Chains A and B, each alone.
Chain A
């Protein structure tokens, strides 16, 4: 009997837990309407679409499951007069919810594959290429200059005056434009960014452009995308690279083609 008194008192905790679960569910879902991805500034709309699709599907699943869970906790809290149940097997139900889960996942996987192929596909032919080199704790941005060719580089040439190790004997390198933590791109023009690291791993992260790619020492990686919105943005490092990781921040300016051309001419001049 003493046990039942205890169980009845505990039942209040069950009711409280149910209410708490509902409350957490409501509050946590509500804030998803307040916090959103940073405003998109590139052509990678499809990535966002898939994100929202998954957010919707998992959101519904989250609401349904947590609510049902809370409801059961409420409803089946200990009652002295309750009937027990030994029912513990239903082949049909188990098969049903296994298949249902799988069926919901298939379109996500499929859509993911298609979009992934798009993102990772070779860039269009009119793409222009720049280079972003990561180092503790700085982004060196290189434009090929008027000749459209990058000068070759060698690690042996790295120095305080030649961060990128550009070979002075290579004529293609003479007009290369080297900027620290500054990147300027024209709108609506596909750009490919070659990524390499001088020291440790970094990650090139453009939060507003849905672009993230690790820089792996010894391997040249690349990303390509098309900026679609004029404005000033930030470039972040997203892979721990040392004590100044949080300060490995650069600036990306998206400009109209005309403004970009003016800027590029100025840079070439200054060079």
Chain B
């Protein structure tokens, strides 16, 4: 498969084939990461505007009108603009940042390097997958500029709100573009998933058994499977929604819908169908975002504790279990939807099952720290942050997974807090940890450590400052997606909490400027990497040259002799024995 890509010369390719329509998985990964950073800035800025409104509801400074003439005319944000903001924040962050970054970005970069392949199994498909994701992202961005603005039915796009154009301004052209953008995204992700699975199954180098794969690659393998099985449901669902919007079908629309002064002629559909289709994707999607982050965490923690990851086997079983269970828990998003109460019972049981493998992971990480020699590099700090978020968000999941307790907490800020820790927090910190950790392999330079640490401290503390207090708002009964909680008398006492959250959010947002500056500065001016394995890590990507060419290894692909976690091996010299290092003679003689 990979014979055709042995060309590791640099100057031979044209600019276009090297940087634009590149087949090289490493370049495609960088393209993805650049796109992700841009989308993250957009998505993050939308969140800042949301927090501006919630922190100080009512009149804002006049100058906002110059930025948003209609959305914030006279300095007052309109409610429809607010709904659009959080809808697009969710859409962009979930799909175009936290899925594209850790999966399409780092999955692409790492899988061939970690399995010992010269490229992905299908390099052309890989290139296509980026060039399908990009139009999707552009369409999503264009939707801000159409009549009525971007989609405004939540990232979950529940019909009829998303299906009937007059239901909210964003449901006009904006929602159509949202669907089209999502279909592009899904197509891209499916191509990526196929590549991941095939590459990991077929292109592993000699000696690299599945149970010798780094946990990062294990996670990407499962993510590939999840994407392949789950996303088609959303693709089908979205196309049906498009039909309902444009062709007069009634997949999601029952008889008797009356909006404005119009009685719509649809009949026979059910909005509940969309919820089933959406969450059949939606829940695996959460793990698509989380699993890579958990994989990065395991590998980074192992490297910087100079310890083997504890319970490698149970770690693998845990993520396999989590991935499989993720297909049978979608109903916990629908406990109060009106579906059969029997399903509520079943989904509670399956959902709480996930707590078991999740807890196993946490205990394994704790055991890895035991007797460690922790080096607090920036990627390590972020990885430790993920563990803390995973514990916090995992425990609140028990509340929401229990249907009885979910009745009160459903669609409140408790949910917002929960998923921002377990999914968004782990995903974001995973992405950041991965950037800091693999930056030397991507660019041959280090990111600035000092700036990285400053970035970590602001980000970590502000992240807790933003999202932990949301639990209090949630148990106090504050609903999600409301433009002004002060409308309700019982929520008025909590305005100070909202203001505190908003201030924390602005700190969190500003801290990311440090990261972006560090990233681009270090790309050209960062400290040069002196050896191909600057972290003294064990996984195969660190056996490539400082600047790996297309094809990754100049000579033969190294053979793998061991698992990737031989740190402090009693029979080996030095504190680590990389996967490509043959077993010690002593041991071999025995």
Interface residues of A (CB under 8 A from B): 7, 10-11, 13-14, 16-17, 20-21, 24, 28, 31-32, 34-38, 46-47, 50-51, 54-55, 57-58, 61-62, 65-66, 68-69, 72-73, 76-79, 82-90, 93-94, 97-98, 101-102, 105, 108-109, 111-113, 115-117, 119-120, 135-136, 155-156, 158, 160, 198-201, 203, 205, 207-208, 210-214, 216-219, 221, 233-234, 236-247, 249
Contacts and interface: CB of A to CB of B under 8 A. Distances in A.
Contacts of B377: 10
B395 A58 contact: yes
A200 B469 CA distance: 31
Contacts of B313: 89
B567 A86 contact: yes
B61 interface: no
Nearest to B369: A72
A242 B153 CA distance: 7
Interface of B: 78-80, 83, 152-154, 158-161, 164, 167-169, 253-259, 261, 263, 269-272, 305-314, 336-338, 341, 344-345, 348-349, 352, 355-356, 359-360, 362-364, 366-377, 381, 384, 387-388, 391-392, 395-396, 398-399, 402-405, 407-408, 410-412, 453, 457, 460-461, 464, 468-469, 471-473, 475-477, 479-485, 487-490, 565, 567-570, 575
Contacts of B570: 86
B376 A11 contact: yes
B407 A37 contact: no
A239 B376 contact: no
B271 A84 contact: no
A149 B487 CA distance: 35
Contacts of B168: 242-243
B307 A31 contact: no
B345 A101 contact: no
30 contacts: A11-B374, A13-B376, A13-B381, A17-B381, A28-B468, A31-B472, A35-B472, A51-B408, A72-B369, A73-B384, A84-B307, A84-B567, A86-B308, A88-B312, A89-B312, A94-B364, A105-B398, A112-B404, A116-B403, A117-B345, A201-B160, A207-B408, A214-B336, A216-B270, A238-B480, A241-B161, A242-B168, A243-B83, A245-B79, A245-B83
A218 B408 contact: no
Nearest to A99: B356
Contacts of B477: 37-38, 207-208, 236
B263 A158 contact: yes
A233 B57 CA distance: 23
Contacts of B355: 101, 105
A102 B79 contact: no
B219 to A, nearest CB: 19
A200 B308 contact: no
Given A86-B570, A158-B263, A234-B490, A240 B341 contact: no
Contacts of B372: 72, 76, 85
A242 B106 CA distance: 37
Contacts of B338: 213-214, 216, 219, 221
A112 B307 contact: no
B81 to A, nearest CB: 9
B371 A83 contact: yes
Nearest to B566: A86
Closest 5 CB pairs of A and B: A218-B254, A84-B568, A155-B256, A207-B477, A35-B472
Contacts of B407: 47, 119, 210-212
Nearest to A156: B263
B311 A76 contact: no
A78 B575 CA distance: 14
A136 B259 contact: yes
Contact of B158 (A37, A112, A201, A234): A201
A42 B547 CA distance: 67
Given A58-B395, A213-B336, A239 B78 contact: no
B161 A58 contact: no
Contacts of A237: 479
B402 to A, nearest CB: 5
B374 A77 contact: yes
Nearest to A79: B373
Given A38-B490, A112-B404, A242-B161, A199 B399 contact: no
Given A36-B475, A199-B257, A240 B167 contact: no
A199 B259 contact: yes
A21 B152 CA distance: 37
Contacts of B307: 84-86, 88
A14 B374 contact: yes
A140 to B, nearest CB: 12
B161 A200 contact: yes
A7 B375 contact: yes
Nearest to A232: B489
B262 to A, nearest CB: 10
Given A28-B468, A200-B167, A246-B484, A102 B356 contact: yes
Contact of B348 (A93, A94, A112, A240): A112
A249 B490 CA distance: 12
B396 A58 contact: yes
B76 to A, nearest CB: 13
Contacts of B306: 84
A97 B253 CA distance: 48
A247 B485 CA distance: 9
A116 B401 CA distance: 13
B270 A218 contact: yes
A50 B158 contact: no
B565 A88 contact: yes
B42 to A, nearest CB: 21
Residue among A58, A79, A160, A246 having the largest count of chain B Cβ atoms under 10 Å: A246
Residue among A97, A200, A213 having the largest count of chain B Cβ atoms under 10 Å: A200
B308 A88 contact: yes
B229 to A, nearest CB: 26
A63 to B, nearest CB: 10
A86 B457 CA distance: 31
Given A76-B369, A101-B360, A116-B404, A20 B461 contact: yes
A101 B356 contact: yes
A11 B469 CA distance: 30
Contacts of B484: 246
B356 A50 contact: no
A61 B472 CA distance: 18
A89 to B, nearest CB: 6
Contact of A199 (B167, B457, B482, B568): B167
A37 B478 CA distance: 11
B278 to A, nearest CB: 12
Nearest to B345: A113
A225 B272 CA distance: 25
A15 to B, nearest CB: 9
Contacts of A238: 410-412, 479-480
A93 B259 CA distance: 60
B306 to A, nearest CB: 6
Contact of A217 (B256, B261, B314, B345): B256
A252 to B, nearest CB: 11
B256 A13 contact: no
Contacts of B483: 245-246
Contact of B311 (A31, A88, A205, A234): A88
Given A84-B306, A105-B356, A89 B402 contact: no
Contacts of A32: 471-472
A158 B258 contact: yes
Nearest to B86: A240
A116 B471 CA distance: 23
A119 B484 CA distance: 31
B388 A66 contact: yes
Contacts of A98: 314, 356, 359-360
B158 A78 contact: no
Contacts of A84: 306-307, 371, 373, 567-568, 575
